[in-house]
Structure 1
Amino acid sequence: MKKMKQKKTFKHDTPLIKQDVKKLGKIEVEKSAEMGPTPVEGDVAKLQKRKQISSVKEKNYLLIPDEYMLLKQKVTFKFQNLDYKEAMGLMAKIGDVNILVGEEVAGAITAELSDVPWDKAFNALLDMKNFAADIDVNSNLIRVHSPATLTSQESYKSARASAVRKKVELESSVEPVVSEIFRLYYITPAEAKATISELFTSTGEGSTYSPIQVTEEKTTRSIIVRGKAKDLDVVDSVIREIDVRTKQVLIEAFIVEATSSFERALGNKLGAAYTRKSLRAGGTIEGSTIGNPSGSEAALQ
C-alpha cells in the first residue's frame, strides 16, 4: 500500500518588508550625532534639579543672620550709669565680635535686660541713645556711630565706588575686541541669538546696552559674536549648556497600497481564499485549492 504523501503545512515566516527600519533609522541618527560634539542629554526629568550658572550673595548691613549663634544667644545684664563705650565693649566680649565705637559717641547708659537675644539687646542700646550701627558679621565687625556720621560715611563710600566703577569701565573699554564663530548642532542660530542677546542686554535710564554683538549665520548653522574675551568665554559656556541633543522618538510606519491584485497575491502567499462582492481571492498549495468558499460565513460582504 502506497504511503500517502503528507501535505506540508504552509508556514509564512517571510516578512513583507525585509529591512529593519528601526535599525536603519538608529544608524542614521548616530551618523548625525557623530558630526556634532559629544551630546549632553538635556533630560530634566532625569536630573530632577536645576543647574546653577551663577550666584550673587547679598550682604545685609542691618540684620544679623540666624547662623551666627553667639549673636543670637540670650543675655542678662544690668548697667547702672555705665559709660556707653564700656557697655559696647562688654557686648563685644559676650558676642565674640569686634565693635568699633566712633569718637562722637559719648554719654552714660542705665539699662536692665533679662533673657533677651543678643542682637535685640544690642539694637535696644542703640535706640536708647539714638545711635546707628553698620553690621558686617561676615567680617566679624560692627561699627557704631551717630546717624549723621554713618550717613556721611556711606555717602562717601557710594561716591567712591561710583568713581572706581567708572575707572574700571574706562580701563575695560580699551581691551581688544574679538570676533568668534560658534557652530551649532541642535538649536537654530535664531534661538541661540535670542538667548545670548537677552542674557547680555541691560536696561537703564530709558536705554539698553549690550557689550556684545551677535550675528546669525544660517548657511553654516552658526552665530558670530563680537565682544571682549571675557564675554565670549561666557557665551561659550552658555552655548555648551543649551546646544544639546534632546530625547528623540523614532516612529516606525508602513504604507501599504491594497488593491484587488494585491489581495489575490496575498491570498496565494497565505494559502487562503475568500469571496467579497462576487470576487474570489485565494490560492492553491501543491495543486489543492485552499479555502473554497461555502455558506454565508465564508463570504465577506
Structure 2
Amino acid sequence: MPTNARLPVVGAIACLGAAILLAITSLAPGQQTPPTKPSADPALNITDTGTVELHVQGADLRRVLQLLSTQSKTNIIASKEVQGTVTADLYGVTFTQALESVLQSAGFTYIQKGNFIYVMTEKQYTDWQESKRELLVKVFKLSYVTAADAKEFLTPLLGSNGSIAVTPAPAVGIASSATETGGISLAVEDMLLVRDYSENLEKMTKVLREIDVRPQQVLIAATILRATLTETNILGIDFNALAGVDFRSLSSTSTGVTSITPGAVPAEQLDQATSTIRTDFNAGLPNG
C-alpha cells in the first residue's frame, strides 16, 4: 500500500484516541460512574454444616422458595395464593429458621407432613386445622331448666361446625279417657344432644352446672289436729288428778284432789286412764 494511502487511517485512529482521552479527563476528580441497580435474583448459599446464608432484595417469593427447595433438597409445595416479594439478609441460620423468616415477612405460613412442606395462607392453614379436628357428641340431661332455655345459653359457645339438638316441648293438657290417664306427652326429662369440639363441650358443661340447679323455694308446713269426744272422755279430764290415783276406791267427793266426783263411773273406764299426780297432797287435808 502506498505511503500516502496510510495517512488517512492513521489520522482517524489518532482522532478516536484523542476523543476517548478527552471524555475521560472531562470527569470531575471525585466523580464515579453511576452504580448499577442491585439484581433481584436471590443469593442463597447452604454450607456443609447445613446453615443458610440468604441475601435478597425485592425477590419473587416463589423464586426464593424454589432455591430453598433445590439447594436443601427439600420438597416445598406452595399454593397458588402464595404470591409476593421478599427482602432479607440472613447469616448462619438453619433451614427452618430461613423458611419461617421468609414466609412470615410475606404473611404466609406452612405445615410439614412427612417429607413435604406445604406453604399456604393463614386462612388456608386455619381451614386445614379445622378439617383435621374431631367432632365429639355429648348428651346433657336436664333436671330443672328446660331444653329450649338451655339451648339459648349454649348456642354462643358452639364452634363453626357444632350443632345442638333438643327434645321437643311436651304437649300439655292431654285429656284423659277410658284408656289414657292424661298429662303431658313427654315421659322423660329434657335433654340436649351437642356435637362439637372437646374444648367447647367442656365450656358447655360448666355453664349447665351453673344454670341447671334447683330453684329456691319456701316450705310451708301445716299441721291439722282433730279431737273427737267419746263416752270415755266426754266429761273431760282434770289434770290435777293425774298421779296414779286408784279412782275405783273413790266412791264420793274426795278432798285429796281438786273437784273430783267420780259418781257412778264404771271401773273399766277408769282403768283406761293413765295419769300422774303429786303424792304430797295429804299434807293439806283436815283431820278426819
TM-score by length of 2: 0.29
When you count helix as a share of all residues, which structure comes out higher?
1
Structure with greater proportional strand content: 1
Relative contact order: is structure 1 or structure 2 higher (C-alpha 8 Å, sep ≥ 6)?
1
